[in-house]
Chains A and B, each alone.
Chain A
Amino acid sequence: MADESPKPVATIPRTSRPMSEALLNEKWDRCLSSLLIRSGLGLSFGIVFSVLLFKRRAWPAFVGLGFGAGRAWEECDNSFKRAAAPSKDGLRVIRP
């Protein structure tokens, strides 16, 4: 059994659809990447703003970073929250 196990490990990930146990990890990956991108964007924007408008002050850069990180956080949070509940895609919601 121990000998045979490595092979299936190698084969199973080949499936097109992501495995259910890898869902959370994937979400974490997306969140981190988006955090990086958005915080970096916010930082860069803040830096530009601080240079252009705020006479090279540091806080516009941080604010920008905060905006970016906050935006990424929000997004990540939203994705986690939505993923927890069973997906309602293709279902018709009847409101009273």
Chain B
Amino acid sequence: MLRASISRARPALRSVAPVAAPQWRLAPRFFADKKNLDETVIPQTDPLTTPSNPGTPASPILPPRDLNTAPAPPPRSPHVAAPSASRSAPVEQPATTPPTGPGSASVAPDPKPPKKKRRLFRTLVWLTILSALGYGGGVWYSLVSDNFHDFFTEYIPFGEDAVGYFEEREFRKRFPGRAGTPRSLSALPGTSQQVTIPGNAGLGARPVPAGETAEKSPHMSAVESKPKEAKTVVEPKADKAAEVKKEEPKKEVVAAPEPVAAKPIAQIDHLSVPNAEDPVVQDVVKIVNDLITMVNADPVHGSKYNSALEKAKSELGKVVSDINLMKDNLKKSAEDEIKAAHTQFDAAARELVNRLEVQMHEQELHWKEEYENERENLSQSYKDKLQSELDIAKKVYEQRLKNELLEQSALLQKQFTQAVRDRVESEREGRLGKLNELSSSVHELEQLTAEWNSVVDANLKTQHLVVAVEAVKSSLENQITPKPFITELAALKEIADDDPVVSAAIASINPAAYQRGIPNAGQLVDRFRRVAQEVRKAALLPEDAGVASHLASLAMSKVTFKKSGLAVGQDVEAVLARTEVLLEEGDLDGAAREMNSLQGWAKVLSKDWLSDCRRVLEVRQALDVITTEARLQTLLVD
């Protein structure tokens, strides 16, 4: 993974590296060029002013020299300039350059040595030619090679100036726009090259604009033609001084006119206008001064113009004074006007102030009135409010008083009613007590009736019970064969309403009794007769009797006498007789008891009858209990 990422990253790095490399290679190139430009430009800035000046000032002075002393050097100067121009871009330049070639100036003194000796002259010539060639070659090569440029400018005298001059030329050719203004200036003088004078011969405090100089150029040219002539005439005297001062042409330009004007004739003074502050006047004065200087410079025709100039001067002075006068007048009038305006303004201001005061006063009055009105209104409204609040408060107070009165009256009424009620209550107490007693008695009566009702109900219940019991009894007595009497007993139980005694009595009855029914008294007696016959058969049997004793008792029972009535004795015959009697009497209980007293076979034989008897007795007993219970209930109810 890492490798892959690195491999992927590498192309980017590679791509970056080549891009960076050219930049690095290019950058120095640019830098070197720029350096060159800087180097060339920086010298140019100085030369821009310097060579142009030396070019121009040298030219006006040199041509005379060329004319006078050495016509030879000019051809040399092209020699020097030619190689540089021919090898550099512009070839046609040298044609124009010759007049500006300053190198030739230095050669100018050379013509002196040839007069001495021919040999020395030859060597000198060769030397100069060689040195010039070498110099030219050096200059050309310095333009080509940077290293050599540095070396040349540093170690060869005037090399820097020479190289700088050519470089500047080249630069100007390349960018004519930038060096337009100096060129135009230099170009104009091309036709009439002495225009530089007015620039320096300034009387005015202001620098003269370019347009004006252009306008003046024709004048100047016209005037300058004279100084030239004057110079040509005068120069022989100041020739050497001028030649010495060639090296510093600037100073010459400034200094030249003055000595020239001063020296020949001091007839005409420069016009001096002490109060000339107007630029127009200044210009005029300057023009006149120039004229004067021209005239002064021209000694031949100077005298001609003197009178005119004087006149002009005086007139100018007059004009100036007039101007001054006019100015003063104007000033005065302006001041007057200003004063008048001041006064007017003051008046107006006063009027305004007055008006404002009046207005303010009026406003004040108005406001006062408004204030008064407002105050009155406010006081009125507050009074109204106060009045209304007082009224409200009064009303509230009255209402409260009324309420209190009402409350008091209500309280009094309550008290009164309470008192009346108390009194009435106390008076009524006795009667009310009696009434209460009556009501209580009525209540008791009601209770009694209710109790009676319950008693009646209970009686009814017991009656029902009795009726049911009677119904059971009758059903038992009136039956022909023993019938089950479950329904009657159930009805009895229902009527008894779960009476514990009744339910217990019913429970005491053997279920077989009411399921199969019980025989009535007649049936019992009938059955007793049959049982008695059988019992008599076994009456004489001893204990543990066998067949023989049975046969004997059977046979003997036929012949024994029957007892009747309440027989005394415990034998079977007597018991039977008593039982019969008891049965006839209706004493079932006693009969059962008698029969129960039998022993042995007799008892075994009478067992069924006895159980029957018992059932009947149980039923009877239960029914008796129920009837007694009903009777007891009726008794309890009371």
Contact = CB atoms under 8 A, between A and B. Distances in A.
B537 to A, nearest CB: 6
Contacts of B606: 20-21
A84 B607 contact: no
Interface in A56-75: 73
A21 B535 contact: yes
A86 B538 CA distance: 16
A6 to B, nearest CB: 9
Nearest to B529: A5
Contact of A21 (B480, B519, B608): B608
A80 B480 contact: no
A37 interface: no
A84 B547 contact: no
Contacts of B523: 4-5, 8
Interface string A1-29: 10011011101100000011111110010
Interface string B542-572: 0111111010000000000000000000000
A8 B546 contact: no
Contacts of A23: 604-605
Contacts of B530: 21
A31 B547 contact: yes
B212 interface: no
Interface in B243-302: none
B526 A9 contact: yes
B601 interface: yes
B430 to A, nearest CB: 79
A76 B548 CA distance: 10
A86 B482 CA distance: 29
For the residues of A in contact with B, the DSSP-based class is helix
B447 interface: no
A25 B471 CA distance: 40
A60 B169 CA distance: 206
Interface in A70-92: 73, 76-77, 80-81, 83-86
A8 B605 contact: no
Interface bin, chain A: 20 to 34
B609 A80 contact: no
A6 B533 CA distance: 17
A78 B481 CA distance: 38
Contacts of A1: 522
B526 A24 contact: no
Contacts of B534: 21-22, 24-25
A22 B527 CA distance: 12
Given A5-B526, A8-B481, A24-B537, A80 B605 contact: no
A8 B526 contact: yes
B595 to A, nearest CB: 12
B182 interface: no
A4 B522 contact: yes
Interface string A37-51: 000000000000000
Contacts of A83: 601, 604
A25 B536 CA distance: 13
Nearest to A11: B481
Contacts of B608: 19-21
Contacts of B541: 84
A68 to B, nearest CB: 15
Q: Which of A9, A22, A24 gathers most chain B CB within 10 Å?
A: A24
A23 B550 CA distance: 13
Nearest to B525: A1
B526 A81 contact: no
B519 A8 contact: yes
A19 B611 CA distance: 12
B113 interface: no
Contacts of A28: 550
A19 B523 CA distance: 15
Contacts of B545: 80-81, 84
B522 A85 contact: no
Contacts of A25: 534
A21 B548 CA distance: 20
B526 A77 contact: no
Given A7-B480, A84-B604, A21 B609 contact: yes
A84 B605 contact: no
A21 B523 CA distance: 15
B531 interface: yes
A28 B546 CA distance: 12
B600 interface: yes
A80 B538 contact: no
Given A20-B609, A23-B605, A24-B534, A81 B522 contact: no
A9 B519 CA distance: 12
B480 A4 contact: yes
A24 B535 CA distance: 10
B544 A85 contact: yes
Given A20-B606, A20-B609, A21-B535, A73 B547 contact: yes
Contacts of A86: 604
Which residue, B531, B533, B550, has most C-beta atoms of chain A within 10 A?
A: B550
Contacts of A22: 534
Q: Which residue of B480, B533, B606 has the most chain A CB atoms within 10 A of its CB atom? A: B480
Nearest to A74: B547
Contacts of B600: 84
Contacts of A73: 547
B394 to A, nearest CB: 121
Contacts of A85: 544
Contacts of B548: 77
A81 B544 CA distance: 5
Contact of A12 (B522, B527, B533, B607): B527
A20 B604 contact: yes
Ranked nearest first, the 3 interchain pairs of A and B with the lowest CB-CB distance are: A20-B608, A21-B534, A1-B522
15 contacts: A7-B481, A8-B526, A9-B526, A19-B608, A20-B605, A20-B606, A21-B530, A21-B535, A21-B608, A24-B538, A24-B601, A31-B547, A73-B547, A81-B545, A84-B541
Given A21-B609, A84-B543, 8 more contacts: A4-B480, A7-B480, A24-B605, A77-B548, A80-B545, A81-B544, A81-B545, A84-B544
